[in-house]
């Protein structure tokens, strides 16, 4: 049953790519988005189950799938551009190794022109051959008419991102998230109005033991992330409980969980009362929401 709609969606994405506009209403600004009472459907690295992650086809597919938010990751290039990419290295999602040789090829050591000469689609499926790594600005331009972009900073300073968002009028047209809560604190100091999400759990230090208690979305973690300026905890689904969600809500905070790729787990998360579900397959989250509604 899933195959035909998915094929149609892929046809749209491949044929029309970034230029295809879904006939939908403009998304709310970030503060309004947080006031929506139903759980949000958040596409992880775009609709990364159907198209190569963190590319324009993946973002176009996510908007066609009706995602409330479209998540992406960014890094800085050697010449100061903000480029959309998950890993610090290019090996997994581009043809850099075949083209340039070597391994563990760091994006931060290459210029934007070099990075955009790579193929970021063929590794996923030959139909996406020729897909480039997008600039952060290109990605937000594509997503913004249809959904709120959830911008995850993987590397780089807060000031550069704040200045870019301010310059383009995108403060609070997006939500910004990071596992680095010092970055969030810096961002909050520069742009206190911007909605921020704190990703977790965060390991205490490289190589140190990481206990289940430290991974839990506990009242202490909620207090810490709120102090960093976040109004959302974006937490691993394995470490969120009914009590965590209740404690978060008592503090006026939202809870989003990552990464949920099946209907049964999505329904468990909905039962916990989470406010958003991050998924590689956004239509499955819509299905879980519909089933939960029918069960009421």
- Given ligand G3P, Ca ion, none, residue 67, with its beta carbon under 5 to 8 Å by kind, binds none
Q: Which is nearer to ligand G3P, 144 or 280 (CB)?
A: 280
Q: How far is the CB of 152 from ligand G3P (least distance, A)?
A: 6
Size of the site for Ca ion (CB under 5 A): 2
Backbone phi, psi, residue 77, to 5°: -85, 175
Q: How far is the CB of 150 from ligand G3P (least distance, A)?
A: 7
- Count of residues for the chain? 296
Q: How far is the CB of 71 from ligand G3P (least distance, A)?
A: 5
Q: Residue 89 gets which letter from DSSP?
A: B
- Given Ca ion, ligand G3P, none, residue 278, with its beta carbon under 5 to 8 Å by kind, binds ligand G3P
Q: Which is nearer to Ca ion, 149 or 231 (CB)?
A: 149
Q: Is 247 in the site for Ca ion (CB under 5 A)?
A: no
Q: How far is the CB of 38 from ligand G3P (least distance, A)?
A: 19
Contact 60, 20 (CB under 8 A): yes
Nearest residue to the partner Ca ion, using Cβ: 152
**CA-angle at 18, arms to 90 and 144, nearest 5°:** 95
Q: Percent helix, strand and coil across the chain, each rounded to 5? A: 40, 15, 40
Q: Which is nearer to ligand G3P, 114 or 180 (CB)?
A: 180
Contact 85, 107 (CB under 8 A): yes
Per the listing, tokens 């239509």 go with 283
The first and second tokens of residue 72, run together, are: 């992406």
Q: Which is nearer to ligand G3P, 71 or 119 (CB)?
A: 71
Backbone phi, psi, residue 66, to 5°: 80, 25
Q: Which is nearer to ligand G3P, 170 or 258 (CB)?
A: 258
Nearest residue to the partner ligand G3P, using Cβ: 258
Residues in contact with ligand G3P by CB under 6 A are: 44, 71, 73, 86, 152, 199, 234, 258, 278
Q: Which is nearer to Ca ion, 152 or 186 (CB)?
A: 152
Residues 6+ apart with CB under 8 A from 146: 21, 22, 24, 26, 27, 63
Binding map of Ca ion across residues 130-169, x = CB under 5 A, - = no contact: ----------------------x-----------------
Q: Which is nearer to ligand G3P, 202 or 291 (CB)?
A: 202
Contact 94, 133 (CB under 8 A): yes
- Which of these, 180, 130, 133, lies nearest to 158 by C-alpha position? 180
CB-side exposure of 177: number of CA atoms within 13 Å? 28
- Given Ca ion, ligand G3P, none, residue 68, with its beta carbon under 5 to 8 Å by kind, binds none
Instruction: Report how far residue 245's alpha carbon sits from residue 187's, in angstroms, rounded to the nearest whole number.
Output: 25
The first and second tokens of residue 68, run together, are: 């409330």
Q: Which is nearer to ligand G3P, 143 or 234 (CB)?
A: 234
Q: Which residues, in sequence order, are bridge partners of residue 278?
A: 42
- Given Ca ion, ligand G3P, none, residue 258, with its beta carbon under 5 to 8 Å by kind, binds ligand G3P
Among 73, 119, 247, 275, binds Ca ion (CB under 5 A): 73
Chain positions contacting Ca ion, by CB under 5 A: 73, 152
């Amino acid at each position: 049953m899933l195959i035909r709609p998915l094929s149609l969606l892929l046809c749209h994405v491949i044929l029309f790519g970034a230029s295809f506009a879904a006939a939908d209403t403009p998304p709310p600004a970030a503060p309004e988005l947080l006031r929506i009472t139903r759980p949000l459907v958040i596409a992880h690295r775009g609709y990364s189950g159907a198209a190569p992650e963190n590319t324009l086809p993946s973002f176009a597919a996510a908007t066609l799938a009706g995602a409330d938010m479209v998540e992406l990751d960014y890094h800085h290039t050697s010449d100061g551009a903000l480029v959309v990419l998950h890993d610090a290295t290019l090996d997994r999602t581009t043809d850099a190794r075949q083209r340039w040789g070597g391994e563990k090829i760091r994006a931060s050591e290459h210029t934007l022109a070099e990075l955009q000469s790579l193929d970021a689609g063929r590794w996923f499926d030959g139909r996406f051959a020729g897909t480039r790594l997008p600039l952060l600005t290109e990605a937000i331009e594509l997503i913004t008419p249809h959904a709120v972009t959830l911008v995850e900073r993987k590397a780089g300073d807060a000031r550069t991102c704040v200045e870019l968002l301010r310059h383009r009028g995108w403060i609070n047209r997006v939500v910004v998230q990071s596992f680095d809560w010092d970055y969030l604190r810096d961002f909050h100091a520069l742009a206190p109005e911007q909605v921020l999400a704190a990703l977790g759990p965060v390991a205490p230090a490289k190589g140190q033991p990481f206990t289940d208690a430290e991974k839990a979305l506990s009242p202490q973690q909620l207090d810490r992330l709120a102090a960093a300026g976040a109004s959302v905890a974006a937490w691993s689904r394995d470490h969120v409980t009914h009590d965590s969600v209740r404690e978060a809500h008592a503090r006026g905070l939202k809870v989003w969980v990552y990464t949920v790729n099946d209907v049964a787990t999505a329904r468990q998360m909905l039962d916990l009362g989470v406010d958003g579900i991050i998924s590689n397959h956004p239509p499955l989250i819509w299905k879980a929401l519909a089933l939960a509604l029918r069960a009421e």
